[in-house]
Structure 1
Amino acid sequence: MRRLLKRLIWPILAGIILAVGLLMFFPQLGSRSIFKAPSDGNQNVVPPSILAPTREAPGEEISRPAPKIRTAPPVSRQGGPVSYAEGVERAAPAVVNIYSSRIVESEQHPLMSDPFFRQFFGDDMPQRQRMLSSLGSGVIVSDSGYVLTNQHVISGADQIQVALRDGRETLATVIGTDVESDLAVLHIELDDIPVIALSDSEKTEVGDVVLAIGNPFGVGQTVTMGIVSATGRNHLGLNAYEDFIQTDAAINPGNSGGALVNPEGAMVGINTAIFSRSGGSQGIGFAIPANLARDILDQLVTQGRVIRGWLGVEARQMTQELATSFGLKALGGVAITRVVPNGPADKAGLKSGDVLLKINDRFLVDARAVMADIAEIPPGTQLPLRILRNGERQEIVLTVGERPKPRAENRTQD
């Protein structure tokens, strides 16, 4: 019996020693991968096409109380739900379809360009009219009937119709528009309207789950899901003032003006634009943050316009070549390329060719960021500046003006 045990013990010990040695030198043999990384797709992007801005609100003085906005509590990141149905049910009734239409003069019949036929009509030649319509989305943000949407959705509209998810429809009036942020505020007269809650978009983080709700291609209200891909996106050339939330939730034509919401149904942003080669969603969409939308809403309702600070200059980003020509050792400051006649900068003595180094003791680096910072300064503020002129640094005090109302731009639908 002992001989048999001795014969068995040595092979067993040898096997154990061999197994331990293999695990020490090849640890991967003791584990296995359960996740596969997805392969990268084609990342080619082209500028988005967006529907264009037009009509502005009347210029008379406005005096309205600020709308009451529901503020949502911070979203929990302790665990994701199995279903987002409850969040959708909270938000979706407040997301509306917007149908805008306008009448345009169509081209004359080709025969009317013939002088023989023109002699029978003279200057009273018959004109043909046709109706152009477009669709988009909007969000009811106040039980007073205020609706947020994109300015380009209602651009140039002679009539705007709002359709709720419960089947009710009504005509909307334009309270105000802001071309530079591409936001507009409409007003509807209906009872018992659903209202969405607004989140604090400053607390939105990359990786948060978001849902896009809107009316893509006019098929009816649709919900798509994705995550926040980035925050603070700018330098896209879409608006004068940009601070976009980027998402891969599918956004298509007709989604413009709709809501980007968190899993609890609170609005994170207003869906605005996409990068796309085909015109459809390719996973790169942009939304205006809820905090910015709330500020624009308050100003348009209470003042009828958005008041922004203004220097009256056109500035260019500093490059290495420009820095060398100005004698700068670093790429700080922005180069002034144009001074608006009789504007605040002109009155303060600034000239084309000056380099703006500091504003209110803050060093400058990015020209677009400078414009955004100035916009937040109340008109009439005395602002100390440091400039570089002909190699010499100078201190100037400038009185901030109010940014003039811009002309609407013509853009194509997103």
Structure 2
Amino acid sequence: MQPLRMLQAYRSLLASQWLDRDRLRALQEEKLRRLIPHAYATVPHYRRLFDEAGIDPSRIRTLEDLTRVPITAKPDLQTAEPGTIVSSAYRLEELTAARTTGSTGRPMTTYYDARFLQIRNALFLRALTVAGYRLGRHRMMLITDERAKRSRPLLRWRYVSDEETPERMLAEFRAFRPHVLYGLVTPLRQMVLAARAEGATLPRLDAVITTAESLDPGTRRLLGEAFQAPVFDIYGLTEMGPMAWECPHHAGYHLSEDTAVIELVPTGHGDSHSLVITNLELYGMPLIRYRTGDLARRGPEGRCACGRRLARLEAVEGRAVDAVRLRDGQTVSPYRITVSLGRIPGFQRYQVIQHDLSTFTVRFESPPEREAEVARDIRTVLASIVGSDAVIEPRREPSLDPPPGRKFRTVECRLPA
């Protein structure tokens, strides 16, 4: 990372997040008019895509024009040779390769050019800043799955692998004494529970920042109470970096529209939308109208109380592959299930697993004396969504924590894609 150029990108992003809608659109379209000809001229995948659709790249000049471009799905890129999806303007060895976790069974490699890496890092720093982190002033501990990263003393950052035991994370936390804690939801939760098991009180922090997994209300409360700190959530993709983040008003997730065009494409199932993103900064391996595989709900319209006019998401519902499928052909958003089950009192966490079109297991954590009541409520609530003839097996377990290095999915559909 070149610190000076990254800081220049960071200062630019600090300014552009306050643009009004007209100036924001003008910025997006200016970047779009540079990206599209580059992708057509240097990336075989997009040259073929445009030619087969009969699209002249010089005619893609506005956001409305962009919707004429066919959507690229993740499987289109997962099986492609690098030479067909990476820009010929770069040598493959000069690009940085990043591999997605493959939590749905199919990882993908993305190739970043050096300029994009600076912008990606700047986006991350901006999301941290909005959450209250101050570069140079705060010590920050990061619990992530990026095991190749080393701690950065000059930044006052310490990385800890999410594969460490909760006790080891807690020891690192106490030794480093951070002001801000950032990490995947499950490891943060495990660390807090490890401290509670010791009967220990955790020190007050300036902010807790979560990422990579769905942040359920119960875990948000747990982290906020344990550290006496506001909790902020960031939605990001390995392919693109932070794409949406919370401000101190917590009125939805602000979209990074100054670096991407983010479309909410209706799925035909209620208020659920498919997230389709055109990254306006990634030139080494352009991603144009890229279907992320995630579902989201549109957030409040208009200016946020913080003053930003960036569009917002109400929530990222989960992965499209984990939408529940029913016998009558209906598809149920993971969000509808989590919202309904989340209203049941008396249990801390749960996971819904769909085995076939009518068989579900609901793993949950609760006090032993509440097991029967919670199990009854789970059957009633879930049956109202998936049908009274469904086989629903609630199962109380001491812990739902996944194995080290794996992300927790609240709803998991195990049907063939």
TM-score (norm 2): 0.27
Q: Which of 1 and 2 has greater Rg?
A: 1
Per residue, is there more helix in 1 or in 2?
2
Greater relative contact order, per chain length (Cα 8 Å cut-off, separation 6+): 1
